[in-house]
Structure 1
Amino acid sequence: MPFLTSLFFGFVPMFFFAYILYWTDRYEREPKILLVAVFFWGVAIAAGGAFIINTVLGMGVYIFTGSETASDLTTGSIIAPIVEEALKGLAVLIVFLVFRKEFDSILDGIVYAGIAALGFAATENTHYIYNLGYLESGWEGLWFLVFVRVILVGWQHPFYTAFTGIGLAITRLQRSGCIRYLAPLIGISIAMFTHAFHNTMASFLTGTSGLAIGTFMDWTGWFFMFLFILWAVASERKLLMIHLKEEVSLGLITATQYHTATSTWKQTSARFQAFFNGRYPATQRFYQICGELAHKKHQYHTLGNEKENVEIIKKYRAELKTLREKAEA
């Protein structure tokens, strides 16, 4: 029972957090199969690989120094941030390289990175809650670790790894220039630095006051990332407003559908109504295509006919024409 409880509170809150990230991508949602894949990359490959590498390198430091304190500090402040951010970031890099056409914006980078990190956090949280919570202090320790790992630091891993996703997204949207090559390196460096900073502070800030200070610092970082995500969502809406005007003039979407496509709340209302009148599949696909088309047009204007953007735009326009009469406005 204690292990199942640890497993439940390790994974279920992270599923919920992952859904929140998925929900923020309102205008052009990513394929669920890719999001599930990066989540379970975090669960198994990133978390499993990090456990093995961190343990081996930590033992090496102990053998070299003969100090358990030095081993713990080096592992937490240097080894773990580098290893864990590299392994989590690898999932985002694979999406970036292999499924490039699905990697369209800053928000996409945050979503893929955050969900991969939440998979990692699910495994790590289960370990902490059971092994460092229940096995060391019984049920009281278990519930305390649930509170710490889910409520106090639940968003830490996606916060770190989001910088890797942002860096790759900036590269994706650049045609040339040094920033195209520097952005991913800067992104993962910030991810590793913020991770190392948190772990180092956690090593020195002990007791209730230390927990309070650490929580304040963590939540301050989350707050600014939240504001950045709001900016990214607003930027995507502006992109749709610019690039879908032409579709109205071409008669591919109506003026009402245009206003629905560029409004989170109107899209939600349209999907809700469509659910009850049998038009949900067409409505869901119609507004997804609106988002996809706007991004591809933006990429065409910015990057040229990269990856056959012109052909993709034609395909999306043909699909909009087919779905126009079936979609809820």
Structure 2
Amino acid sequence: MEFLLLVGCAVAPGIALMSFFYLRDRYDSEPLSLVGLLFFLGMLSTIPVMYLSDWLQQGMSSPYSRTFLAVALVEELAKYIMTIAIAMRHREFDEEIDGIVYAVAASLGFATLENIIKALVFGWETVALRAFFTVPGHALFGVAMGFYLGKAKFTASKKKRWLLFGCAFLFPWAFHGIYDALLVSGQQKIILTILPFMAFLWGLGLWKVRHAQARSPYKPLEERAQDV
């Protein structure tokens, strides 16, 4: 019974956050089959990505090199490739906010299985920390990724499209690297800056969601008139 409760608590943050961001797509919800596929593929990627990350870290002496070049880079690149390969050309990807929904799904799939593994290894003491920080962090990295992928999908300029594709990887990579670097610093004052950093990520992420919502072609005319 305790095992099931532990696993349930490890899964719950990912499901709750996925539901939250899925419901932000107010005007033309994405098919659950496609969202679920990305979530599932994100879960499948967790173990090979963790092994690759651990292997890369063996040749790095600096903890900051490991966080940016082995952990954040590998994890965000995996999510980036999955989202582009599965969702980018799908007919259901027909508005900017869809990029956010799909990237968050891939990110939270990864975070959920990682959370289960960490909970089983480290027990209850890791569940609360990861529920309030690590899993939301992955979701917010996904928001940054999906925001720029959504813009890239619908821009007419080829040059701007490639710039946006670059931003879709660079911003979540930077945010993830900074998050991990704060945690591995070993200094309490630096670790505590994770609180304002997470507040910043939430503020920025919710702004990006609202911005993408406002640009939806499915937004009712009466709501558009209120925005004028």
**TM, length-normalised to structure 2:** 0.88
2:102 to 86, 95, 112: 112
Give 1:234 deviation, angstroms: 2.8
- The answer (yes or no) to whether the contact 1:49–1:87 under 8 Å persists in 2 is no
Give 1:41 deviation, angstroms: 0.9
Matched, 1:195 2:164: no
Matched, 1:27 2:18: no
Distance 1:73 1:228, change over 3 A: closer
**Residue 58 (structure 1) aligns with:** 57
Point out which structure has higher relative CO (alpha carbons under 8 A, 6+ apart): 2
Q: What do residues 131-172 of structure 1 show as CA deviations (whole Å, max 9, x unaligned)?
A: 2x32xxxxxxx1x32211002333101211222222221121
Distance (whole Å) between structure 2 residues aligned to residue 219 and residue 240 of structure 1: 29
- The answer (yes or no) to whether the contact 1:117–1:161 under 8 Å persists in 2 is yes
- The answer (yes or no) to whether the contact 2:18–2:105 under 8 Å persists in 1 is yes
Indicate the RMSD between aligned Cα atoms, in angstroms. 2.2
Equivalences for 1:169-208 in 2 at 5 Å?
169-204=150-185, 206-207=187-188
Could you list the runs of 5+ residues in structure 1 that have no partner in the other structure? 62-69, 135-141, 243-258, 264-329
- The answer (yes or no) to whether the contact 2:41–2:106 under 8 Å persists in 1 is yes
Give 1:106 deviation, angstroms: 2.0
Give 1:216 deviation, angstroms: 1.9
Distance (whole Å) between structure 2 residues aligned to residue 30 and residue 89 of structure 1: 19
Distance (whole Å) between structure 2 residues aligned to residue 49 and residue 6 of structure 1: 23
1:240 to 191, 205, 219: 219
Question: Aligned residues: percent identity?
Answer: 22
Could you list the runs of 5+ residues in structure 2 that have no partner in the other structure? none
Distance (whole Å) between structure 2 residues aligned to residue 58 and residue 153 of structure 1: 20
**Residue 77 (structure 1) aligns with:** 68
Distance 1:150 1:28, change over 3 A: same
Matched, 1:222 2:183: no
Equivalences for 1:135-174 in 2 at 5 Å?
142=124, 144-174=125-155
Distance (whole Å) between structure 1 residues aligned to residue 71 and residue 50 of structure 2: 9
SS at match of 1:51: helix
Equivalences for 1:280-299 in 2 at 5 Å?
none
**Residue 81 (structure 2) aligns with:** 90
Q: From the CA coordinates, give the structure whose radius of gyration is larger.
A: 1
Distance (whole Å) between structure 2 residues aligned to residue 202 and residue 220 of structure 1: 16
Distance (whole Å) between structure 2 residues aligned to residue 85 and residue 221 of structure 1: 16
SS at match of 2:169: helix
SS at match of 1:155: helix
Letter in 2 for 1:214: I
SS at match of 1:153: helix
Distance (whole Å) between structure 2 residues aligned to residue 198 and residue 107 of structure 1: 24
- The answer (yes or no) to whether the contact 2:22–2:29 under 8 Å persists in 1 is yes
Distance (whole Å) between structure 2 residues aligned to residue 34 and residue 111 of structure 1: 10
Give 1:17 deviation, angstroms: 1.1
**TM, length-normalised to structure 1:** 0.62
1:125 to 98, 115, 121: 115
Matched, 1:43 2:43: yes
Distance (whole Å) between structure 2 residues aligned to residue 182 and residue 227 of structure 1: 21
- The answer (yes or no) to whether the contact 2:143–2:208 under 8 Å persists in 1 is no
- The answer (yes or no) to whether the contact 2:6–2:119 under 8 Å persists in 1 is yes
The number of equivalent residue pairs is: 224
- The answer (yes or no) to whether the contact 1:44–1:120 under 8 Å persists in 2 is yes
Distance 1:186 1:231, change over 3 A: closer
